[in-house]
Structure 1
Amino acid sequence: MAKLGRFKNDKAREEYMRTYRELEKQWRIPSATLDVSTSYGTTRVRKAGAGEGVPIVLMHSLGGNSLSWDHVIEDFARDHLVYMPEMIGAPGLSVQTAPLDETGFGTWFGEVLDGLGVDQVHLVGYSQGGWQALVIGTTQQARLASLTVVEPTGTLTKIKWSLLWTMIRIGARPTDKNLRKMNARLNPGVTLTDAEYAGVKAALGYSPTIGYPKMFTDDRLATITTPTLALLGSESLAINPQLAEQRLRDNVPSCEVEIVPKAGHGIFHQFPKLVTSRILDFTRRYEPTDARHGE
């Protein structure tokens, strides 16, 4: 039988749910949750905001969930309906019933949108969510009004072995001290709350099955025809920003790239107002004409 994503034991599940509830208490604005059926299981989706334009879908990073967007949700949801799915086969409240890897990301995404009754969205992916968003961009072009990727790991340039080794070592011994040390190295300028650290640690109690990001070939990048924005940190350890920029400009037909000075991989937390403003400016250009006139 093919393996499915699961918590390692009941204790791990209970601890994850405890940290999830604590983070949910800190959520800044009204929201609702929905469970959407797909071929791969039930996807938990958080919904917030309102607006007449094209909705925004936010794809979270490794170990994150729909609550990871708390620090930017007010800006995104001010004039838009925002959907935040929790990836199947990864930590969260989605429930996997069939194997899923990147060959099925597009199908899964299309079924989530169908379940939500949404035809087209602005898709935004951060870190591991950027990998998933790029994959979706190769097969679901008709469902995307725009595509934004922020620090998409492992897809445009190789992750340094030294960083991978550090992540593996800390994952094997995830003490508070080690997790804080890892965050300081990977995400300089970003300070997480105790509740956020507890959530990161609890996510390690889940055994994911969706695989890991794979390098995109030039030909594969060229299949992304959706208007695309890439935001990269000039000091990122997870990606080579200059090489990533060149690959995107050379291969993605309609792409804008911005390397943000002094930003690391944690750019979404380090400069949240700058990032959300840049994304919203970009998506606004790809709204239907009547929606733009209504702003």
Structure 2
Amino acid sequence: MPKIGRFKNDASKLSYDRVYQALEGTWPVPSTQLDIPTSFGTTHVRKSGSGTETPIVLVHSLGANCLQWHIVIEDLCRDRVVYALDTIGTPGRSVQTAPITGESDFATWVDEVLNKLGVDRVHLVGYSQGAWHAVLVALHSPERVASVTLIEPGGVFDKPSWGVLLKMIRAGMRRTDESIRKLNDWLSPGYVLGDLEFTLAKEALNYRPGIGWARMLKDAEVQSITVPMLVIYGAETVVSNPERVAARLADLLPAAEVEIFAGTGHGILGHIPNQVIPRLMTFVRNHDDAKRK
């Protein structure tokens, strides 16, 4: 039965909100906060930057929220507006009131957010679970997407091993500081969460999400992707086999670009942002709408 995401109790929500508010102080550029009504509930959006280039929309990873992008937002919004979303049905300031009943609902949700923002087309950037949500928009509403960048899209183009899934489940069940830090060290070597980020991630475990999990796209679905796509992996990632994904995309969607960075894993965005963001922005600028006219 479809679910509506919620915290397990009011005390959990209050604890999460306090840490969220404290973490807002790490956002390094001016921003405007918006609460956008949609069919699935109110979506919280943080808007930064200015300019006439095609905007960027950011979709965060599992257990995170829009503030995850604070480490890279300054470079993303130098020449354009960037909208960072709190995904509906996940912890954050978005409030889900109706269930996500199918994968196309993610495209409907983003469509409605963009309509209320008065934005026609965007570059969509998703990280980890957010990459799954981003590719669903590219599949079901390609007319809204100038390009899509998928950072560490586990389970989208290949199947993660059962060992990886079990390790993550066990850590989620124990929920001690030690087990959570060990999971992060294994999952994202080279990137250590700050104290506020760690506390927020721990509080997020008290949220019961109202959305499903990524699944591996069928060959025909991959071949049907019509928007320019960049896929970024860390070579040491445990959520996918980057070489296998690159080979599959070369066969099914040769126009897609795949970048694999050596010496890093799933925490690539925090570990080597000085390499990831220039690659991402080169791709984005190559596909700005003004250049396509």
Q: TM-score, normalised by structure 1?
A: 0.96
1:135 matched to 2:136: yes
User: Partner residue of 1:87?
Assistant: 87
Give the drift of 1:120. Answer: 0.4
The aligned amino acid for 1:214 is: R
Q: CA RMSD in A?
A: 1.5
1:179-218 correspondence runs (5 A): 179-218=180-219
Give the aligned partner of residue 229 of structure 2: 228
Cα shift readout 1:138-193 (whole Å, capped 9, x = no counterpart): 01111111111011111111112112111111111111111110011000111111
Q: Report the CA distance between 1:3 and its aligned residue.
A: 2.8
C-alpha distance in 1, partners of 2:292/2:64?
Answer: 32
Q: Which amino acid aligns with 2:159?
A: K
> Quick one: distance in 1 between partners of 2:266 and 2:3?
31
Cross-structure match for 1:107? 108
Residue 117 of structure 1 corresponds to 118
For residues 20-73 of structure 1, what are the alpha-carbon distances to aligned partners after superposition, in whole Å with 9 as ceiling and x for unaligned?
011012221111111111111111111001111000011100011111100000
Give, in angstroms, the shift of residue 291 of structure 1: 10
| Amino acid of the structure 1 residue aligned with 2:238 | L
**Match for 1:125: what amino acid?**
G
Q: Structure 2 CA distance, aligned partners of 1:270 and 1:245?
A: 22
Aligned residue identity for 1:34: L
In structure 2, give the amino acid aligned to 1:242.
Answer: E
Equivalent residue runs for 1:41-56 within 5 Å? 41-56=41-56
- State the distance in 1 between where 2:9 and 2:290 align: 51
In the TM superposition, what are the counterparts of 1:230-269 in structure 2 within 5 Å?
A: 230-252=231-253, 254-269=255-270
Identity of aligned residues (%): 48
1: distance between equivalents of 2:252 and 2:107? 20
Name the TM-score, length of structure 2 as normaliser: 0.96
- The alpha carbon displacement at 1:253 in A equals 5.2
Distance 2:63 2:169 in 1: 14
- The CA distance in 1 between the partners of 2:126 and 2:3, in whole Å, is 26
CA–CA distance in structure 2, aligned partners of residues 290 and 212 of structure 1:
35
Ranges in structure 2 where 5+ consecutive residues have no aligned partner: none
Q: Does 1:28 align with 2:28?
A: yes
Which aligned runs of 4 or more in structure 1 are off by greater than 3 angstroms?
Answer: 288-292
Q: Secondary structure at the match of 2:140?
A: coil
- Secondary structure of the 1:216 match is coil
Contact map agreement 1:53 1:291 (CA 8 A) in 2: no
Q: Contact conserved, 2:146 with 2:289, CA < 8 A, in 1?
A: no
Aligned to 2:15: 15
Counterpart Cα distance in 2 of 1:86 and 1:289 = 28
User: Residue in 2 aligned with 1:148?
Assistant: 149
- Residue 169 of structure 2 corresponds to 168
Gaps of 5+ in 1: none
Aligned mates of 1:23, 1:50 — CA distance in 2: 23
| Preserved CA contact (<8 Å) 1:106 1:136 | yes
3-state SS, counterpart of residue 71 of structure 2: coil
**CA 1:289 to 1:119, structure 2 compared with 1: closer, same or farther past 3 Å?**
closer
Q: Does 1:60 align with 2:34?
A: no
Tell me, in whole angstroms, the C-alpha distance in 2 between the residues paired with 1:174 and 1:51.
Answer: 43
How far did 1:2 drift? 4.9
Say how many residue pairs are matched.
292
Cα deviation digits, residues 67-101 of structure 1 (max 9, x gap)? 11000000001111000111111111111111114
CA contact (8 A) 2:58 2:83 kept: yes
The separation in 2 between residues aligned to 1:270 and 1:244, in whole angstroms, is: 22
